A = this chain, B = another copy of it.
Amino acid sequence: MERHFEKELEELKDRLVWMGSLAERAVHQSVQAVLDGEKDMANRVIEEEPAINEMQIEVDERVVKLLATQQIMAGDLRFAIAVSRINGDLERIGDQAVNIAQSALRILRHPRVKPYVDLPRMSEIAEEMVRDSLNSLVRRDVELARNVLARDDVVDSLRNQIFRELLTYMMENSAVVFPAFELILVAKNLERIADHATNIAEDVIFMVVGRDVRHPALDRR
What is the interface of chain A, defined by CB distance below 8 A to chain B?
A: 60, 63-65, 67-68, 71-74, 77-78, 81, 84-85, 88, 163, 167, 170-172, 174, 177-178, 181, 184, 188, 192, 199, 206, 210
Q: Looking across the interface, which residue of chain B has its beta carbon closest to that of A175?
A: B171
* Separation of A80 and B60 alpha carbons in the complex (Å): 13
Residues of B within 8 A of A192 (CB): 192
Instruction: Please judge, given known A-B contacts A84-B84, A170-B174, whether A181 and B210 are in contact too, CB under 8 Å.
Output: no
How many copies of this chain does one complex carry?
Answer: 2
By the criterion CB–CB under 8 Å, are B167 and A88 in contact? Answer: no
Name the CB-closest residue of B to A199.
B88
Give complex CA distance A163, B180 in Å.
Answer: 13
Tell me the smallest distance from the CB of A188 to a CB of chain B, in Å.
6
For A188, the chain B residues whose CB sits under 8 A away are 188
Q: Which residue of chain B is the closest to A191 with respect to CB atoms?
A: B188
Q: Judging by beta carbons under 8 Å apart, are A167 and B177 in contact? A: yes
A64 and B71 contact, CB distance less than 8 A: no
Give Cα A200–Cα B64 distance, bound, in whole angstroms.
18
The reply to whether A68 and B74 contact each other, CB–CB distance below 8 Å, is yes
